[in-house]
Copies of this chain bind each other. A is one copy, B any other.
Amino acid sequence: MRNFTFQNPTKILFGKDQIAGIAREIPDGQRILLTCGGGSIRRNGVYDQVMAALAGREVLEFAGIEPNPTYETLMEAVRLVREQQVDFLLAVGGGSVIDGTKFIAAAAPFAGDPWAILAERAPIERALPLGAVLTLPATGSEMNCFAVVTRRASQDKMAFGHPLLYPRFAALDPTATFTLPPRQIGNGAVDAFAHVMEQYLTYPVNAPVQDRFAEGLLLTLIEEGPKALANPEDYDARANLMWCATLALNGLIGAGVPDDWTTHMIGHEITALHGLDHAQTLAIVLPNVLAARRERKREKLLQYAARVWGLSAGDENERIDAAIASTRAFFERMGVKTYLRDYGIGTDAVAPLLAQLERHGLTALGEHQDVDLATSRIILEASVAP
Contact = CB atoms under 8 A, between A and B. Distances in A.
Contacts of A9: 7-9
**Interface SS majority for chain A:** mixed
11 contacts: A1-B243, A3-B17, A4-B14, A7-B11, A7-B12, A206-B236, A209-B244, A212-B212, A212-B215, A213-B213, A215-B216
Contact of A7 (B3, B10, B17, B206): B10
Nearest to A219: B212
B216 A212 contact: yes
A240 B208 contact: yes
A184 to B, nearest CB: 21
Contact of A13 (B1, B2, B5, B239): B5
A256 interface: yes
Interface in A152-174: none
Q: How many copies does the complex hold?
A: 2
Interface in A224-268: 224, 236, 239-240, 243-244, 247, 252, 255-256
B208 A224 contact: yes
Contact of A240 (B1, B13, B14, B18): B1
Contacts of A209: 216-217, 220, 240, 243-244, 247
A75 to B, nearest CB: 32
B212 A220 contact: yes
Given A12-B255, A209-B243, 18 more contacts: A1-B236, A1-B243, A2-B15, A3-B15, A3-B18, A5-B13, A6-B14, A7-B10, A8-B9, A206-B240, A207-B240, A208-B224, A208-B240, A209-B244, A212-B215, A212-B216, A215-B216, A252-B252
Contact of A256 (B7, B14, B206): B14
A16 interface: yes
Contacts of A2: 15
B10 A15 contact: no
A13 B2 CA distance: 11
Most buried by B among A3, A8, A240, A255: A3
Contacts of A224: 208
A15 B255 CA distance: 11
Most buried by B among A5, A223, A244: A5
B7 A14 contact: no
Nearest to A8: B8
Contacts of A10: 7
B256 A243 contact: yes
Interface string A193-225: 000000000000011110011011101100110
B4 A15 contact: yes
A225 to B, nearest CB: 12
Contacts of A7: 9-12
For the complex of A and B, list the 8 residue pairs with the smallest distance between their C-beta atoms, beginning with the closest. Answer: A3-B15, A212-B216, A7-B11, A9-B9, A206-B236, A6-B12, A1-B239, A208-B220
Nearest to A234: B206
Contact of A6 (B11, B206, B220): B11
A217 B209 CA distance: 6
Contacts of A14: 1, 3-6, 255-256
Interface in A121-175: none
Contacts of A206: 236, 240
Nearest to A18: B3
Interface in A1-43: 1-18
